[in-house]
Chains A and B, each alone.
Chain A
Amino acid sequence: MNSPPVPRSALTRRDLLRATVLGAGAMAISGCSSIGAGLLATPPASGTVTYWNLFGGGDGIRMREMEDGYRKANPDIELRTATFMWGNPYYTKLALSTVGGRPPDVAASHLTRMKTLVLGNLLQELRPEDLERHGITAEKFNRKAWEAGLVDGKCYAIPIDTHPFVLFYNTKICEQAGLLDAEGNLAPIEGPDAFENALSRVKQVTGRYGATHGITSPSSAPWRLFQTLYAQLGGEVLADDGARVVLDDTKAKQVLDYLRMLTVEKRLMPGSVDYQGAIALFASGAAGFHLNGEWEISTFQDAKMPFSMTLVPNVFGGPYVVQADSHTLVLPVRPEPDPAALDRSIGFVRSMLDQSLTWAQGGHVPTWQPVATSDAYQKLTPQSQYAAAATAAVYDPPGWYSGSGSNFETVMGSAVGAVEAGDLSPEEAIAQLRSKLAVLAATASPV
């Protein structure tokens, strides 16, 4: 209607370009046919399982391998899968499809996001008798992950892994820095001074940095490091399902002071790198340590660099804890209950659990004990070297605005990142945290 005026000679060129863009757009849309099948296709006939997830990269490849494993074992059941973009776009679609009465049979969800879905009455309760028919019982899981997934003592989600924050280290650099033990593993590091000392020795070898971790964006990365150290001091951020802020200023300041010392004051870690930059610096040998979620294991394996992984050191003493989350499988509420579909869905969940070893190759610690305690997993290195993190996991605090990829993580991580980048003092960061968290805590829950 209000297309800008162009003389005739130029009009054809513009039209041509516009048509090109439209054509490209149409190709992009038809390229997403797998998503289209999940969203638009007619209601699946009986004997199908629809499964939505948010796994890309190496996880996506392994998940497809596991889906094929299920198809092979159940040739009479049609498995329809759709992979969506990670994070909020996925949870929005999952929630809206369930509200709209067209949910998938099974969906992946972060444990820390699952509770909000439960509060919104979007998930089916998984009754013990239904689960037992497929051999799924509480004691076959890592206790920490299983209990973290209960809401009012009821089960709504089956945890398939724990994915902790871990310490990656370059074995060659750490060897030169004299940080490895006789077997070539990183010698235990404990306490704030020991960790600082290890970083400075590595820095002497690399000439650049001791360690890297993503700071400027996305903000979830600084949150994970802060949560690990803050929880090691016994600190908590939220209480009463997010209605109350219980941030301990003294403990938070202690952590922020320490992080500021490592980045701004002693330059042992670069203060202004983003997630990808931190990975690139570690992969290129500019740093000997890298703090990140274990899921980046594939990145460094692909980089063909000498590296290994271990638990994040216990910097602040106390009982050992480390930030983590779990991937779970959930069954969204259906418009009408269907026992046969429920059985098929739980059967699919069981099949995923049985293939936990495939999943574990991507770095995730299996929660399914038959696999977690198996020899095959113990021999899987470096993945099994930090398996203890599953039991020491500390999850994001419950709250409607909390959880993986939530505004809570953004608020926390932005302030921590600003301290590490030298833009805010620890005191200013705590003040900012308090004011932003107070707004969220005072807001009525939308679920």
Chain B
Amino acid sequence: MASTDITGRAGTVAPARPEPRGGRHARTPKKPRRENRLTGHGRPALLFLAPFLALYLLFIVGPAIYGLVMSLFNTSMVAPGLGEFAGLDNYAEALSSNDFWSSLWHTIWFTILTTPPLVALGLVFALLAERARRARWFFRLAFFLPYVLPSAVVALIWIWMYTPELGLLSRAVTSLGFAEPDWLGNPDFAMVSLAITTVWWTLGFNFVLYLAGLQEIPRELYEASAIDGAGPWQQIRLITVPLLARTTSLVVVLQVIASLKVFDQMYIMTQGGPNFATRSVLQYVFDVGFTDLRSGAAAAASTLFFVVVLAVSTIWLVMTRRQEPEL
């Protein structure tokens, strides 16, 4: 919605090129694109897709359908077969469970906490790194590097930094004269601490996407605007940000989905605690399925979560389609 009027404004700046090409690819939903290819090229396209499709059916679609079937049964982790038919009992159980709803809220709260800073800081650091005259490669690498680390390594580093009384951050905060927050031990603050860790860890991905988007903006626009007397701040506000609208859409949708999928950080750093305050919905599924051995109930809970993610993706798809009438 916001980007619709941005397109208009961008159009006044560069009427000949309404949108950078790369951006269009980015936001084109993958399904229509595949259909286009199929109608355009027929059998060869299918052949090229076959290896992917085979794996996709075998490891994604197949298990998903099996999970859907399993959610209708009292399937046990330690017994062969599906077990006795349960109808919609598992769904009723999840929907009436306080634990399910509170863990779903924790996941959404985590998404709310992480998405805005990850998008905004990704843009800010990309702009800064782009402006660097020297050692640009260093800044690019520095911001991207944490993303390469496995989640367990990130979690261990930050557990040490957050250690009460002895940890690096605690020392830093107390030496500045502030009362030390109980980073991971306070149920109200633990999620914020996890969000900070996640921002540090995954910022690099959005950063790289924004860097790519920045390179797509024609230099002439800046030169022309400079001649017309635009300062750097005006250039960022009126040229860079509007022309990055498509990258922003991509970054936001990828970020929301990534944040909804959160599991590792909580599982390693807080085990969902203290007192269940950071248990994400995926950990609820894990607890029911793997700790309680109730695969059927876990499948029902994860199907419900799938519906939530599907709803978010659909809303996004509709919104981005509206932006692209030419499709």
Chain A positions near chain B (C-beta within 8 angstroms)? 1-2, 4-7, 9-10, 13-14, 17, 20-21, 88-89, 92, 95-96, 98-99, 116-117, 120, 122, 215-219, 270, 272-274, 276-277, 280-281, 284, 286, 400-401, 405-407, 410, 414-415, 417-418, 421, 423-424, 432, 435-436, 439-440, 443-444, 446-447
Q: Is the CB of A280 within 8 A of B166?
A: yes
Name the interface residues of B13-33: CB closer than 8 Å to any CB of A: 22-23, 25-26, 30
The binding surface of chain B is classed by DSSP as loop
Q: Is the CB of A281 within 8 A of B166?
A: yes
Closest to A447 in B: B78
Q: Is the CB of A423 within 8 A of B26?
A: no
* C-alpha spacing A169/B156, complex, angstroms: 28
Q: B175 at the A/B interface (Cβ < 8 Å)?
A: no
Number of B residues near A (Cβ < 8 Å) is 50
Looking at B97, B140, B187, which has the most chain A CB atoms within 10 Å of its CB? B187
B80 proximity list for chain A (CB < 8 A): 99
- What's the nearest-Cβ distance from chain B to residue A43, in Å? 20
Q: Is the CB of A418 within 8 A of B166?
A: no
Q: Is the CB of A277 within 8 A of B165?
A: yes
Q: Is the CB of B22 within 8 A of A7?
A: yes
Q: Interface digits, B290-307 against A, CB 8 Å rule (1 contact, 0 not)?
A: 111111000000000000
Q: B151 at the A/B interface (Cβ < 8 Å)?
A: no
Show 24 A/B contacts (Cβ-Cβ < 8 Å), sorted by A.
Answer: A4-B212, A5-B23, A5-B212, A120-B79, A216-B273, A217-B184, A272-B164, A272-B185, A273-B164, A273-B165, A273-B185, A274-B185, A276-B163, A277-B165, A277-B166, A400-B292, A410-B272, A410-B287, A414-B275, A439-B97, A444-B74, A446-B74, A446-B77, A446-B79
A432 proximity list for chain B (CB < 8 A): 275
* C-alpha spacing A380/B168, complex, angstroms: 38
* C-alpha spacing A435/B59, complex, angstroms: 38
- What's the nearest-Cβ distance from chain B to residue A212, in Å? 10
Closest to A10 in B: B212
Chain B positions near chain A (C-beta within 8 angstroms)? 22-23, 25-26, 30, 52, 74, 76-80, 97-99, 140, 144, 148, 159, 163-166, 182, 184-187, 208-209, 211-212, 215-216, 250, 254, 270-276, 287, 290-295
- What's the nearest-Cβ distance from chain A to residue B158, in Å? 13
Q: Which of A96, A270, A414 lies in contact with B273, CB distance below 8 A?
A: A414
- What's the nearest-Cβ distance from chain B to residue A4, in Å? 6
Q: Which of A21, A415, A418 lies in contact with B148, CB distance below 8 A?
A: A21
The 10 closest A-B pairs by CB, nearest first: A272-B185, A446-B76, A120-B78, A216-B185, A418-B275, A5-B22, A6-B212, A5-B25, A216-B274, A217-B273
Closest to A28 in B: B150
Q: Is the CB of A92 within 8 A of B76?
A: no
| Given A5-B22, A432-B275, 15 additional A-B pairs, CB 8 A | A1-B52, A4-B26, A89-B290, A96-B78, A120-B78, A217-B273, A218-B271, A272-B186, A273-B164, A276-B163, A414-B274, A417-B274, A418-B275, A439-B97, A447-B293
